[in-house]
Each structure stands twice: as C-alpha cells, then as structure tokens.
C-alpha cells in the first residue's frame, strides 16, 4: 500500500532536517588567538579546515604578550598561536594550557621593509645611511618581532642613531599598516606579511640575517578552555600535515 504523497514529503523533510541538525550538532567552533604575523597563513588554513571538517574557526589577531594577559584573565580562546615559544610554555606551566599539546608550527623571519620600491637595499644599508624619516617596529614588550627588531638594531650598533626616529605599533599588524600607509618610511615586520605566492608583493625589502637576533620560534598550544573541544584537536592535527606545512613555508616561514 502506497503512502500518501503528503506523508512521504513530510517523512523526507523530517529525515533531511534530522540529518542537517545532526551535522550541525557535530560541527564545533574553535576560538583561536593568533599572533598578528600569522594572520595571512591562518586565514588560508582556516578555509581548508572549514571545508574539510565542517568546523568553523573564529580568528582574533594581536600581540602575543597581550594575548597572554587576556588568557590569564579568562578570555574564551580554545587555542593559541604565539609568535614565540616562551609564552605558550609559560601558560602550560601555569595550568592555563593543556600539557602535551604544545608544538612549534613555524620559525619566523624578520624583514626590513618599505612600501617604496628601491628604498631598502638588499643588505640593509639604508639603516646605516639614516636617510629616512620614521622607522616602525612592533612594541618589543608584547610582540616578539618587535623584540627581534630591537636586538637587530642593537647588534648593528645603531640604537642611538635610530631611536629618535622610532614609531611603535601595538603589534606587527599595526606596524605593517604604518609602513604600508607611508606614515613610516621603513620598518621591521614579518616576512610573511610582505610575501604573496612566495614573492615580494610590493616595495623593497631586506631579509634580516638570523644571527642578528634570537630565533623567532613560534609555538601553538591548546588552552584549558579548549581541552574537550574536538575541533580544536583537529585544527592542531591539520597544522602538522604536509599540505599545511607547505602552505606555511610559502609565506616565508621555516619549519
């Protein structure tokens, strides 16, 4: 005996609704605190993650030091991608992160960059010549790339010469904006911020040799709030996959 069409339609609708609801119930959201230098790669990673898992990622970018304070004060982040390895380790030791989840996802490179073509030479001599108005760096107290910039300036013996010309960004993202807008002629940012498809996307740059500053080893960790979040664990697993490692390298990071 055939069921009436209306009954069949209702049954199909109910099944479809149940399936959709089930999928929604299985999908989780990850709140990610991400160091500003990693904003570009994280956007690409989030797109891959959402497409392959159905989970979503809400990314907040900022300075590593400021994130530390926010996390300690109860900010609702599940995972933390820092611009150093000290801050995640500190959170882990203080019980604010899940032990055993911390790993190095990238090693960053510092670059002296100008939005103006030809201003920065390939040996960074523009710093010694001092022929610029403003030099932008990120706040060295909260941003590891800012600390690396200060180290570089000190090792080059240029602290006294350039200090009157320094302008500080709250984080490396704001520092990039100072230079990109022309408010600073040159500045120290992350190589990842000035590359597109593995090539300089504009202006002129000098990649700072690694011996001029402490290595910028960047660690990620699952925070206490995210310890039972399946999506957080899946995001961290994705970061370790060959496909994503290649993507990270394309932004100028070492692994």
Q: Which pLDDT tens digits describe the chain residue by residue (255 residues)?
A: 444 544 444 444 444 444 444 344 456 999 999 999 999 999 999 999 999 999 999 999 999 999 999 999 999 999 999 999 999 999 999 999 999 999 999 999 999 999 999 999 999 999 999 989 999 999 999 999 999 999 999 999 999 999 999 999 999 999 999 999 999 999 999 999 999 878 898 999 999 999 999 999 999 999 999 999 999 999 999 999 999 999 999 999 998
> Of 120, 160, 138, which Cα lies nearest the Cα of 213?
138
Q: How many residues appear in the chain?
A: 255
State residue 19's pLDDT score.
40
CA angle 61, 65, 66 (to 5 degrees): 60
What is the C-alpha to C-alpha distance for residues 19 and 24, in angstroms, rounded to an integer?
Answer: 9
What pLDDT does 198 receive?
82
Rounded distance between C-alpha atoms, residue 113 and residue 172, angstroms: 12
* 5-107+216-250 and 109-212 in the same fold: yes
Question: How far apart, in whole angstroms, are the C-alpha atoms of residue 128 and residue 158?
Answer: 7
Instruction: Report the candidate in 145, 142, 190, 184 with the shortest Cα–Cα distance to residue 165.
Output: 184
| Per-domain residue ranges of the chain | 5-107+216-250, 109-212
Fold for domain 109-212?
Answer: D-Maltodextrin-Binding Protein; domain 2 (3.40.190)
pLDDT for residue 112: 98
Beta bridge partners of 201: none
Per residue in 205-240, pLDDT (tens digit) is 999 999 999 999 999 999 999 999 999 999 999 999
Rounded distance between C-alpha atoms, residue 140 and residue 65, angstroms: 9
Alpha helices in 100-171 (DSSP H): 125-129, 144-155, 159-162
pLDDT reported for residue 26: 58
- CATH assignment of 5-107+216-250, given 3.40.190.10, 3.40.50.300, 3.40.30.10, 3.30.1490.390? 3.40.190.10
């Amino acid at each position: 005996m055939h069921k009436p069409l209306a009954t069949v339609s209702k049954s199909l609708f109910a099944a479809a609704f149940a399936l959709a609801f089930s999928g929604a119930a299985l999908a989780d959201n990850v709140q990610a605190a991400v160091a500003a230098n990693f904003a570009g790669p994280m956007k690409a990673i989030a797109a891959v993650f959402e497409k392959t898992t159905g989970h979503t990622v809400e990314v907040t970018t900022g300075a590593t030091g400021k994130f530390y304070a926010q996390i300690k004060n109860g900010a609702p982040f599940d995972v933390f991608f820092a611009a150093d390895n000290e801050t995640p380790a500190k959170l882990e030791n203080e019980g604010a992160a899940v032990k055993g989840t911390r790993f190095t996802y990238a090693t960053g490179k510092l670059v002296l960059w100008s939005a103006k073509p030809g201003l920065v030479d390939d040996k960074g001599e523009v710093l010694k010549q001092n022929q610029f108005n403003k030099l932008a760096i990120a706040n060295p107290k909260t941003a590891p790339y800012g600390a690396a910039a200060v180290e570089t300036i000190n090792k080059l013996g240029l602290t006294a010469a350039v200090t009157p010309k320094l302008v500080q960004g709250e984080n490396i993202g704001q520092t990039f904006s100072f230079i990109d807008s022309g408010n600073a002629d040159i500045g120290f940012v992350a190589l990842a911020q000035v590359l597109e498809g593995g090539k300089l996307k504009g202006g002129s740059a000098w990649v700072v040799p690694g011996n001029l500053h402490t290595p910028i080893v960047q660690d990620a960790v699952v925070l206490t709030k995210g310890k039972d979040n399946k999506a957080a664990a899946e995001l961290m697993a994705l970061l370790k996959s060959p496909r994503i490692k290649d993507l990270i390298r394309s932004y100028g990071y070492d692994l």
